[in-house]
Amino acid sequence: MNISFTKQQEEYITTQVESGEYQNNSEVIRDALRLHTIYRNKIIKDLRAEIEKGLESGISKRSVKDILESKQE
């Protein structure tokens, strides 16, 4: 597998390894992917919960115009 990073990303990875928290670049990337997976799964779970709430709430009696106007106030 070949992965390209920006200069800034490379510097960040190097800094993390130099800090002593990680043994090597691979550990930094694995940790980043693990955290990304946790974050992404939480976002998807939260969105699904909000969609379910919306579906369970039934059909609104307000028009799109009413909703937009209430947000502008």
Q: What is the DSSP string of 3-56?
A: ----HHHHHHHHHHHHTTS-SSHHHHHHHHHHHHHHHHHHHHHHHHHHHHHHHH
**Which pLDDT tens digit goes with each residue over 8-36?**
999 999 999 999 999 999 999 999 999 99
The predicted pLDDT at position 72 comes to 86
Please, what is the angle between helix 7-18 and helix 25-56, to 10°? 110
Domains of the chain, residue spans = 7-72
Percent of the chain past pLDDT 90, that is, above it, reads 88
Contact criterion met (CB below 8 Å) for 41 and 49: no
The number of CA neighbours under 13 Å toward the Cβ of 22 is 16
The predicted pLDDT at position 71 comes to 86
